[in-house]
Amino acid sequence: MSPSDIVEVLTAVIPTRQPTYLWGPPGCGKSSLVRQVSDSLGLEFLDLRASQLDPVDLRGLPKVENGKTVWCQPTFLPSSGNGVLLLDELAQAPPLVQSAFFQLVLDRRLGEYVLPEGWSVLAASNRIEDRAGAGRVNCGLTNRFLHLDLDVCPDSWHAWALANDIAPEVRAFIRFRPALLHSFDPSTNPRAFASPRSWEFVSRVFRVTPPNQLHQVVAGCVSSGPAAEFMAFLQLYTQLPDIDAVLKSPTTCHLPSKEPAVMFALIGALLQKCKADRTLVGNFTKLALRLPDEFGVMAIRDAIALDRSLVANPDVQRWLASARTKGLFVAA
């Protein structure tokens, strides 16, 4: 399932209190998606790293009161309110810790502790085939969950990146080389590899890194192969025409080379400018209508994401009708 599919399902399922297990490769944003849905529903979010717990951490330490043994509730478990309790890295937890979660997941309690009514239990893990530390989860525990598999989807990532200020150069590069959004070979046991999480690292550090060290720093985030391609792409990005001039005269300006890398870089730069000044979206749309179909689809979708009112624009309506006649898909 794509991240947008996962968000849609979790938004519907979390209010039912149905325990749900999210599986996916490392770095694909499983916990971030759960946090995103929790925030959208106005719920608290508690990320509990199951792999770092001992069984006694969950039930608490015993003490004697009036000649009887009682258990001291851990302070990290919720005691009131409404929220989502994520049992992260559950497949990496020792078997005894997994066993301790049996009662919490099914009966919503741990010994004397009772999970507040307004809280839902979710879990997330890498898969065994990822060779990222995940082991087998007791089938008695897994049978207590609804299971969802998260796939990496460049389109969904781009929508997220646009909303979360990921650098335009990184967004444009992933548009150009979507296969490098997640490039992970577990057999090589890599120290760094390309993933949605590590491209976010690139976005965070590449502007502040000295130019002579940039290749090594990017490689330290996503590995040497993707880093080399990204560095070559940056050379194209810096050679683009004046973006202000392009947006000032969108129907008459000269378009640069229609080489794919150049067009991806141009659209990424224009989109970043429009995100900072939404009044430019209309001119961006006029330019998008001049682009070759495959790039026009991408640009129109991005423009609509910034300004939904463009769907009613007559020029856009005609373009959309023409695109659908050609069998092109444009979510509008």
63-96 pLDDT, tens digit per residue, is: 787 877 777 777 788 888 999 999 888 887 777 7
Superfamily for the 3-149 domain = P-loop containing nucleotide triphosphate hydrolases (3.40.50.300)
Cα–chain-centroid distance for residue 163? 11
If you compute the radius of gyration of the chain from its CA atoms, what whole number of angstroms results?
Answer: 24
Are 181 and 199 in contact by the 8 Å Cβ rule? The answer is: yes
Residue 265 scores a pLDDT above 70: yes
pLDDT of 227 reads 93
pLDDT of 214 reads 93
Residue 135 scores a pLDDT above 60: no
Output the CA angle 151-156-162, nearest 5 degrees: 145
Average pLDDT, the chain: 83
pLDDT of 229 reads 92
pLDDT of 200 reads 93
Are 275 and 306 in contact by the 8 Å Cβ rule? The answer is: yes
More confident residue, 325 or 124: 124
Portion of the chain with pLDDT greater than 90, in percent: 23
- Which backbone phi and psi does 246 adopt, to 5 degrees? -65, -45
What does the pLDDT average to over 281-310? Answer: 82
Least confident of 197-211, 287-301, 317-331: 317-331
Residue 272 scores a pLDDT above 60: yes
Are 194 and 182 in contact by the 8 Å Cβ rule? The answer is: yes
Whether the predicted model's global pTM rises above the 0.75 cut:
no
Element (H, E) at 68: strand 68-71
